[in-house]
Structure 1
Amino acid sequence: MDTLESLGRQITGAGELKSIVRTMKAMAAANIGQYDMAMGSLGDYQTNITLGIIAYLREVRVERWTDEESIKKNPEKSACAIVFGSDLGFVGQFNDSLTEFVSKSLSTYPGKIEIWTIGARIPLLLMDIGQTVTQQFDLPNSINAITALIGNILVQVEENHESGYLNEFYIFHNRLAEAGSYRPESHRLLPLDQQWRQEALKLKWPTQKIPEVIGDGAKMIRRLISQYLFITLYKACAESLASENYSRLGAMQRAEKNIEELLDDIGHTYHRLRQSGIDEELFDVVSGFEALKKG
């Protein structure tokens, strides 16, 4: 049976937990703001980089752009899935839904598959369902640390792609959707082949002036492609981190509501027991007084 002392300890513990939850909620909300800002600026920059690549293709009149060198080195179809998960908990179904999406997407791929993960939790879930994780990267804990992570991933991508060991790369991550929710999605990082060009050509040139290539075109296109790959991975990481913090914010809001309800229940029980104890003490005083009066 609960006593006043045990109920008091429960109220103190719940209050401390509520303070922690509020702090985590505030941190998640602040992180969402900075990642949203980064995604907005990255979207515009990525569009400009893509337009630059398209301008080059039109200038040199490239009708077909295929990844022939990689195919010659390794004619067997091989792909790498780069999956952005989370390090910390309190994110609801963030990792579980992404794991299911990755597994379903890769189940129909006809060739060899490698999986690279970012975050400590997602590789465990993938291995639990029979997937093999070949490389694991640490998830950045701030927006300033994303650049170093993307640089490390790009080094591995370029080495495997140029050697022909892997000829296709796909990115899997969660991103914010309408009404503040998030959903898993994927898109291809490499190769930038005819399929990519057809999708990119849907972008309209923003002015009436015809673009032209000035200087060393080969050097320029290499830099543009390098920037395109960097921004694509950077944006995917920022979107994933924003979705993770939104999921954590929702979890903290639910936890705060549950703690408040628990505090109400414990508080009512505490006050009821306290009042009951006071009533008993008053009854004993009155009974003693009546007994002394009769005596």
Structure 2
Amino acid sequence: MSETTGSLLQKIGSATDLHGVVRTMKAVAASSVTQYENAVRSLDDYYHTVQLGLSACFRDPAMRDIQTSLSLSDGGNVVAIVFGSDQGLVGQFNEVMAEYVLEEMSEIADKRSVWVVGERVGHRLQDSALESTAHFRLPGSIQAISPLIATVLSELEERRAAGELKEIYLFHNQPTGPATYTPVSQRLLPLDAAWSRELSAIAWPTNLPAQVLNGAQNTLPALVREYLFVSLFRACAESLASENASRLAAMQRAEKNIDGLLEEMTRSYHRLRKDNIDAELFDLIAGFESLKDG
């Protein structure tokens, strides 16, 4: 069916409206990337303070062998906490994360389960051999991250107390550029000897020896919980920054495609309008000639 100027104008109007929506989404994604990246940077000083506290604990020979309240069970599950997205228009964001989780967890022979943060990445994993045993909604703002992490930590403590946890791994996408990201992982628990040795090697900021107050039984578990909170908060913020970076890249591609489509339809409209005008002129001239000859 051939196009008419009216139908082309309608398509141009629809494409222009869509172009405005895409530009708005692109602006929102760019703003969100900056906010979440700033949130990650704001954690650096606090995270370093927690590391120094743990370093002071592990420097004290009397504290190195203390069993923290976060010890795990040898008969429990290996749990992967996976951050994805609840919304679409993010390119291959969830597919990349799902493939990475499956590859990394395939080498673990123990009982495995997945805690999913984000509905769409859960859909990507539901047909795999990994069983999803917990689902959490992804926060929609920076202010909503802390309540989510508190909920996850509470669930972890409940499962740990029931002897259901052996190891805990954390998976999320990490920004690597203005519109790029890469999947990363870390083992959260248990806290092994290599981890404590690494913390013990951190340079102390003063010449005075570190002192641990309030007793080792209280201080070390409290610092470990803060370490877990910061690690999960950072992972969530980095995942949200990566999600919005992926959405920004998708919107940039969509905007470019719409620009090309608008340009093509505008050319077609002007060409069709010119043809219609030419046809009307030819009809007018032909009619005039007929009248003149008659």
- TM bin, normalised by shorter chain, reads over 0.9
Deviation at 1:60, TM superposition (A): 4.9
TM-score, length basis structure 1 = 0.94
Residues 1-295 of structure 1 correspond to what in structure 2 (within 5 A)? 1-64=2-65, 70=71, 74-76=73-75, 78-178=77-177, 180-295=179-294
Give the 3-state SS of the residue equivalent to 2:119 in structure 1: coil
| Larger CA deviation: 223-232 vs 193-202 | 193-202
Deviation at 1:294, TM superposition (A): 2.0
Deviation at 1:233, TM superposition (A): 0.4
Deviation at 1:206, TM superposition (A): 2.4
Deviation at 1:163, TM superposition (A): 2.5
Give the 3-state SS of the residue equivalent to 1:177 in structure 2: strand
Contact kept in structure 2, 1:66 and 1:193, CA below 8 Å: no
Contact kept in structure 1, 2:75 and 2:165, CA below 8 Å: no
1:4–1:69 CA distance, 2 compared to 1 (3 A): closer
Deviation at 1:291, TM superposition (A): 1.6
- Structure 2 CA distance for aligned equivalents of residues 240 and 15 of structure 1: 32
Deviation at 1:63, TM superposition (A): 4.1
- Structure 2 CA distance for aligned equivalents of residues 116 and 95 of structure 1: 15
Amino acid paired to 1:145: A
1:170–1:183 CA distance, 2 compared to 1 (3 A): same
Deviation at 1:219, TM superposition (A): 2.1
- Structure 1 CA distance for aligned equivalents of residues 132 and 70 of structure 2: 27
- Structure 1 CA distance for aligned equivalents of residues 279 and 100 of structure 2: 62
- Structure 1 CA distance for aligned equivalents of residues 27 and 179 of structure 2: 17
Contact kept in structure 2, 1:117 and 1:135, CA below 8 Å: yes
What do residues 240-263 of structure 1 show as CA deviations (whole Å, max 9, x unaligned)?
A: 000000000000000000000000
1:214–1:70 CA distance, 2 compared to 1 (3 A): closer
- Structure 1 CA distance for aligned equivalents of residues 64 and 131 of structure 2: 38
Deviation at 1:51, TM superposition (A): 1.1
1:106–1:65 CA distance, 2 compared to 1 (3 A): farther
Percent same amino acid at aligned positions?
44
- Structure 1 CA distance for aligned equivalents of residues 288 and 221 of structure 2: 98
Amino acid paired to 2:292: K
What do residues 264-287 of structure 1 show as CA deviations (whole Å, max 9, x unaligned)?
A: 111111110000000011111111
Contact kept in structure 2, 1:79 and 1:111, CA below 8 Å: yes
- Structure 1 CA distance for aligned equivalents of residues 196 and 152 of structure 2: 24
- Structure 1 CA distance for aligned equivalents of residues 289 and 70 of structure 2: 105
Amino acid paired to 2:271: R
Contact kept in structure 1, 2:36 and 2:240, CA below 8 Å: yes
Contact kept in structure 2, 1:77 and 1:110, CA below 8 Å: no
Contact kept in structure 1, 2:70 and 2:221, CA below 8 Å: no
| Larger CA deviation: 147-156 vs 50-59 | 50-59
Contact kept in structure 1, 2:68 and 2:220, CA below 8 Å: no
- Structure 2 CA distance for aligned equivalents of residues 31 and 208 of structure 1: 42
Contact kept in structure 1, 2:86 and 2:120, CA below 8 Å: yes
Deviation at 1:44, TM superposition (A): 2.2
Amino acid paired to 2:74: P
- Structure 1 CA distance for aligned equivalents of residues 71 and 277 of structure 2: 84
1:282–1:245 CA distance, 2 compared to 1 (3 A): same
TM-score, length basis structure 2 = 0.94
State the superposition RMSD in angstroms: 1.8
- Structure 2 CA distance for aligned equivalents of residues 19 and 250 of structure 1: 16
How many residues are paired up?
293
Amino acid paired to 1:288: G
- Structure 2 CA distance for aligned equivalents of residues 56 and 115 of structure 1: 32
Contact kept in structure 2, 1:98 and 1:174, CA below 8 Å: yes
